[in-house]
Amino acid sequence: AAVASSPNSSLRCSRRAQSTVGKGAAALFNPSSSPSDRRSNGDLGFLSAGVKLCCTFNCNIKRVLVAMDGGTSSKRRVGAPGEGQSSCKRQNATMGMDTLDCPVCFHPLRPPIYQCSVGHFVCSSCRPKLVRNKCHLCSAETTFKRCLGMERLMESVTVACSNANYGCAQKLTYYQREEHEDACPSAPCFCPASSCSFAGPIDALLEHSASQHKWPCTTIKYSEDVKFCLEPGLHFLRIKDREIFLLNVALEPFGHAISVVCIQPKATNSKFKCRMSYGSFLTDYYQISVYKIRSSSLSDGLPKGYNLILPKDEIANNGKVTLLTFSIDDPNPKVKVREPICLKPVRGV
């Protein structure tokens, strides 16, 4: 045990064995040596065992040092970063993403992140809402402190956008993904045809509708009156390479039903107002409809319901010669500010 406890003592012991054992030691390590040779050199048995023990101990020490160094091969040691180089390593890992959410609001944790004295996390938005600074999990009155380690972890966790299959190559931190996806330009919109499974960005949808379904697309301006024939079918409307609208004219038993929808990846509150009107001097019939346009990605097909219905008696030649006046109001109109008029005093009055 004394020999194995110190590498220096094992080295001295091995050197002493080499200088004094000579041929007798060789006989001990030689399996073919005779028993008389072994007995004559029996006093060297303990020494030979010590040499073997020292060799085993030194080998184990080397294995431990290699394991602590983090490498098991010469390639790993050669590839290790030197001075001044970053030691940042990235690996793919699988974990439940809900562990990175605030347990109070269930939104992703984002800096600054706080923890109680026990170690339970809470986001900065929920911390002021806790009654009497009681932890939401252990119910103990505590002082919440910043958890810099968790903040660093959240900054290092990156995820791909869920629209990666549609062309988005963004890599985002976990807590920024939801905000990005709400405005991601690669978010998919769907083909309104019931028998078509196409899905893609809005520009790809326009190209698909023109090449595969031959649906027309017309560029219009805000607050500009445009006349359309009431022929049944779909008609895309585009405003200055920005918003896309879909005009749908459906043939119903009671007449022509007309609806308009704004195509957007995320359905939002309507901010567009549409005006549709029809008038005929021959029949002395006039109809107008003003309404807010719904938004949809068309994932569930065309929206149900219509905005304007014209009776059969007003439709001539299946709508090919019947014109509908259509316009979309600008949601952000530019109001011209009048310059103040300065009245100069008149002399002599």
The domain that contains 272 carries what CATH number? 2.60.210
Is 181 contained in some domain?
Answer: no
| Pair 180, 158: CB distance under 8 Å | no
Task: For residues 102 and 10, state if they share a domain.
Answer: no
Model pLDDT for residues 81-106, shown as the tens digit of each residue: 444 444 556 677 777 788 899 999 99
Is 256 contained in some domain?
Answer: yes
31: containing domain: 2-72
- Predicted confidence at residue 26, as pLDDT, reads 43
Return mean pLDDT, the chain: 75
Nearest-angstrom CA–CA distance, 180 and 183:
6
Task: For residues 121 and 241, state if they share a domain.
Answer: no
pLDDT greater at residue 110 or residue 72: 110
Task: For residues 217 and 305, state if they share a domain.
Answer: yes
Residue 111 has pLDDT above 50, yes or no: yes
DSSP3 helix / strand / coil % (the chain, rounded to 5): 30, 25, 45
- Predicted confidence at residue 11, as pLDDT, reads 42
Task: For residues 194 and 315, state if they share a domain.
Answer: yes
- Predicted confidence at residue 333, as pLDDT, reads 76
Last residue within a domain, chosen from 114, 133, 156: 156
Question: What phi and psi, each to the nearest 5 degrees, are found at residue 185?
Answer: -70, -15
Task: For residues 24 and 117, state if they share a domain.
Answer: no
Task: For residues 52 and 122, state if they share a domain.
Answer: no
Task: For residues 229 and 289, state if they share a domain.
Answer: yes
Task: For residues 14 and 102, state if they share a domain.
Answer: no
User: 113 - beta bridge partners?
Assistant: 123
Where does the pLDDT of residue 286 fall: very low under 50, low under 70, confident under 90, or very high at 90 and above?
Answer: confident
**Which helix (H) or strand (E) segment is 14 a member of?**
helix 7-20
Kind of pairing, strands 255-263 and 294-296?
parallel
For the chain, what is the domain count?
A: 3
| Pair 225, 208: CB distance under 8 Å | no
Question: What phi and psi, each to the nearest 5 degrees, are found at residue 242?
Answer: -120, -100
Is 254 contained in some domain?
Answer: yes
Is 79 contained in some domain?
Answer: no
Please tell me the least confidently modeled range out of 69-78, 164-173, 334-343.
69-78
